[in-house]
Structure 1
Amino acid sequence: MNKNTTILTLYLLIFCGPSYADFWAGSSRNLSLSALGNKVAVACHNCYSPDDSNVTLSQALQQIHQGQAADADLIEIDLVAHNGSWVVSHGTNIGPDYNDVFSDNTFRNGSAIPFIEIKTNFSQQAYADMLVNTINTYGYLNTGDLVIIRSFHSAALDKIAIALENIDSARSSRVRLSRLYQNKTYSSLLDWQKNITEMSNKYHMVEFNSKTKNLVSLIELAKAKGLGINLWTIRDYAEVFAAAYRDSVDALTIDSGSGRNREDNIRLAKSVVTDNTNLLYFNMAKQNFNQTDHLHFYDRNHSMYKYRHLSNSPEWEWLENIGEDRYGGSLVLNKNDAEYIRFYDRDNNTSEGYFIYAVVNFDSFSTNTTQAIVNKSDSGGFALELNGGSLRFGVHVEGTYHYVTHPLSALNGTDAYQIIGAYDGNGGVRMWVDGNEVGSPPNISGTVTPNNSPIVVGADPQGPDNQRFFFSGKIQTVSVQSWGHH
């Protein structure tokens, strides 16, 4: 690792988004595009049934059509092998024959992408041949179309791959195979990442539960291996997870939650993906400071800069061996050396609050000092920090700070945590750790107080030029957004 001691230099570059492979290449579907240029498809979870119950053909088609009307990009259809055919079912009930569903003209003629989940770990190749022939016959593999076939069972996907060899190569290339994972598929991160590496030689996508531990390590490895990423299944606060992951994944599976039906959550998630709300964004995962001493980040105007700091800049590490809690690059900050990175003074919009997302590994849990992860808290703004035995997120409203807290005893220095803090200007000050909401949110109302201090990573700003409350740990990603009521 090197310590950068080069003079501060800012280079304004032509805008470009994250340099990820386009998983959706070949599809004519008009997918949501984040402000930084990442395409995100929003999937309608179990889009044939509202509650996994047994449905008739007319009921299943009604649900599919509602998903299409909500502009869902992916229509999830679950299939179970049954008596020599496939039926549409979540696996506990027998639904309509799949031919009757896929022959529906509204489904066939729409632009939404079939998101077919195979629930059965079948052994007969005939089932795979039958499914592939059906989607081909009904025109789902025409130019501009895509179909995703997904399963928790690799053996089933392997049979689909064999079946695809028996149709025209141009059409077979429009099928994407996707491996689904349960939350705790493997007992060790190393074994899980070994499997992802194997999947990259066979399939096109991997899908993770949105509450998976060390989720970002799995995501970044999969992206490095050229795999698409889907997170499932997001129910409560769909807008929060859309904002957090819109620049790092290819798809989000959405269901009902937070008092909204599935279709309203789909519309909401799609709108948040495209919202122009960025105040600061950087992801170190693809930045190797052993090869370059610049930090690439985006400000609210979506311009990309290169940053060098004269002194007190963090070190960095590059992790390319699997089994680590992060994959790729991270900033490494040491509070004893007073390390930090100062960005710009970026305030929330009037009547709104802030949204913060950070991927963090903790080195120190000292309870006798405050450690700022990412702050703009100088008689205003927000703070995501460690303080007095707690991880806390707070905002300054009507003359004081209001915090939601989570005990440090629930955290460790081994794992990387996905931390989200959000306040929308009228409601709770909320925080999520690894996809789970934590703490008791204080319910307040009012615009977060603006100030003239910059956003600082690894410290707390004191005016435009000074800082305190330094942090010890690794930070891979930070996103700061102006956040309004949804």
Structure 2
Amino acid sequence: MQSFTFTSRLLTRVLAAGAVCLGLLGHAQAGNYWNGVSRALPVSPLGNIVALSCHNCYGNSNAETTTEVALALARDFDLIELDVTLHANGVAYVEHTDSEEARGTFDAALANSSLQQSNRLLFLEIKEAYGSAAASDTLMLGVLRSIRDRNYASAGRPAVLRAFMDRHQHLVRAKALLAQSEFAGIRDHIRFHNLIQTDIRNNIRATKNLGFHGVELEYRMPSLFGALIQAKMLGLGAGVYTTPASMGELYLSALREDVDFITSDYDRGASPAATSARALVQESTSLMYLNTAQQAGYPLSYRRSNGTAYPIAQGSATPAFELLSVASDEDRVGGSMAFSGGQSVGTWDADNDAAGGFLVTAVVNFDDLASGSTAAILAKSDTGGFALEQYATQLRFGVYVNGSYSYATAPLSAFNGTDSYFLVGAYDGSGAVRLWVNNVEQTASASISGGVGQNNSPVVIGADPQGATTRRFYFSGKIQQAMVQRWRNH
């Protein structure tokens, strides 16, 4: 794996590429993708703004689409996703694929007075395959004219046009059409996103070079955080699609500090979820968050329950700092803590609620997958708390409940030393202990019940704490992000 030492020359290049959009020593405090939007979008406990998109917010007729939009408005979604195709009659329709069947038209969907009078943003995906410039112009002129005539895309209320890379030429045509005088009133309020599935890094660069505004990535893709940070360092908005309804509360909570938008199926059922998507983003559950990708080196800073920064000074027992160029196309870009055994980063004694549990995340690149040594990635495991760790031939996440640890597991044979992995462990006080790798669930524990035992040890990155200062079970590898939240049954 290619890596770079922390030199002033490399730092200069990285800062030039990314400082404006990231605020390398801050967290979501400058250059947020949604700055200037009038709607009060959800804000995480640490200050990150995350717009929530109602996935496929339409039906097979205009009446069904009106019903779906009404549900999205009632559930407080920010982005209303409509898919758009072109029929042979030259009219744009709202549907997932070009069926040439009678569906609700795009213009009729935008004529919905409740949607018009709301402050919600249009999130429009062009589903039509690209054939020719002439056919694309027919479609995109219809889309742009409906947006204009129905009074969307105004100051503080942008509309977002989106397409997968194999259809992005529709966006290129729309961008050119906006130069026409008839669109003078909306041209500054249209944004363009590419949804990227393949050739990830080159297509992120292509999105930037096209003058587009954001990228959307599949939430289970390998080395997700490397792509998210690359996009941000290039000045693009970055988000994910489509987190599911099942365990949707976990995905929203686990991703809320690191993305600008999430398309989700969560809380789309006939009965509202006990906790809305917006409430999950804003819930005051944060205990510890550190993302070194957004920092330039020591002293590092981390957050606890709010935006206050707590310093981590460099010392003999702290890991080296690795900085990867935005152009490196490594599994990660930006900064990471490089643990070689014997180093750790201590934070603070962050306990769960007595009857509840923990949600923890980490972005990790492994250097030692074969020794069988116990190695803690993120832990508070001192006769209590939790541990996310390597153990023999397994990766495991465990919590201390009723006098012993219970674990969810994944085989280390499924990992390599080249990719980075987004790891999530969770237990809510009743039920299974669960573990996800790249947002795919692994083998859960048997069901248990009871709050996680509290202790007086700090949350430690890269080792297992034994009291306030003693450490053991040191990790070898790179850790870029680590987060801990209180977690309860939602």
Give the TM-score normalised by structure 2: 0.89
Q: Distance in 1 between matches of 2:367 and 2:185?
A: 51
> Residues 44-55 of structure 1: matches in 2 within 5 Å?
44-49=54-59, 55=60
Task: Confirm or deny: 8 A CA contact 1:256 1:263 kept in the other structure.
Answer: no
Equivalent pairs, count: 456
Q: Distance in 1 between matches of 2:302 and 2:176?
A: 44
Match of 1:32 in 2: 42
Of 234-243 and 119-128, deviating more is 119-128
Q: Distance in 1 between matches of 2:274 and 2:83?
A: 19
Match among 471, 478, 483 for residue 482 of structure 2: 478
Task: Confirm or deny: 8 A CA contact 1:255 1:266 kept in the other structure.
Answer: no
Q: Distance in 2 between matches of 1:270 and 1:252?
A: 11
* AA matched with 1:130: G
How far residue 48 of structure 1 moved from its aligned partner, in angstroms, is 0.4
Q: Assess, with a 3 A threshold, how the Cα gap between structure 1 residues 175 and 354 changes in structure 2: closer, same or farther.
A: same
Q: Distance in 1 between matches of 2:399 and 2:28?
A: 29
For residues 151-172 of structure 1, the C-alpha deviation after alignment (integer angstroms, 9 at most, x for no partner) is 1111011011012112454521
Q: Assess, with a 3 A threshold, how the Cα gap between structure 1 residues 262 and 203 changes in structure 2: closer, same or farther.
A: farther
Match of 2:12 in 1: none
Matched, 1:255 2:259: no
Matched, 1:162 2:153: no
Q: SS at 2:216's partner residue?
A: strand
Match among 425, 429, 433 for residue 433 of structure 2: 429
Q: Distance in 1 between matches of 2:169 and 2:275?
A: 35
Match among 230, 242, 250 for residue 239 of structure 2: 230
Q: SS at 2:303's partner residue?
A: strand
Q: Distance in 2 between matches of 1:354 and 1:92?
A: 45
Match of 1:12 in 2: none
Matched, 1:80 2:92: no
> Residues 213-292 of structure 1: matches in 2 within 5 Å?
213-235=222-244, 236-256=246-266, 261=269, 264=272, 268-289=276-297
Matched, 1:67 2:79: no
Match of 2:217 in 1: 208
Give the TM-score normalised by structure 1: 0.90
* AA matched with 1:46: N
How far residue 27 of structure 1 moved from its aligned partner, in angstroms, is 1.8
Gaps of 5+ in 1: 4-14, 50-54, 187-191
Of 301-310 and 170-179, deviating more is 301-310
Task: Confirm or deny: 8 A CA contact 1:20 1:223 kept in the other structure.
Answer: no
Report the RMSD for the aligned CA atoms in angstroms.
1.9
How far residue 266 of structure 1 moved from its aligned partner, in angstroms, is 10
Task: Confirm or deny: 8 A CA contact 2:432 2:447 kept in the other structure.
Answer: yes
For residues 335-361 of structure 1, the C-alpha deviation after alignment (integer angstroms, 9 at most, x for no partner) is 1xx111111111101211011000000
For residues 267-302 of structure 1, the C-alpha deviation after alignment (integer angstroms, 9 at most, x for no partner) is 63211111111111010102222xxx2111112354
Q: Assess, with a 3 A threshold, how the Cα gap between structure 1 residues 107 and 386 changes in structure 2: closer, same or farther.
A: same
Match of 2:10 in 1: none
Q: Distance in 2 between matches of 1:266 and 1:272?
A: 10
Of 19-28 and 196-205, deviating more is 19-28
> Residues 6-405 of structure 1: matches in 2 within 5 Å?
17-19=27-29, 21-49=31-59, 55-82=60-87, 83-91=89-97, 93=99, 94=101, 95-122=103-130, 123=132, 124=134, 125-152=137-164, 153-166=167-180, 167-169=182-184, 171-182=186-197, 185-186=198-199, 192-201=200-209, 202-235=211-244, 236-256=246-266, 261=269, 264=272, 268-289=276-297, 293-320=298-325, 321-335=327-341, 338-405=342-409
How far residue 263 of structure 1 moved from its aligned partner, in angstroms, is 7.4
For residues 41-100 of structure 1, the C-alpha deviation after alignment (integer angstroms, 9 at most, x for no partner) is 111100003xxxxx1221121111111111110111111111211011100533212121
Task: Confirm or deny: 8 A CA contact 1:26 1:146 kept in the other structure.
Answer: no
Give identity over the alignment, percent.
36
The list of structure 1 runs, each at least 4 consecutive aligned residues, that deviate by more than 6 angstroms after superposition, is none
Q: Distance in 1 between matches of 2:227 and 2:372?
A: 34
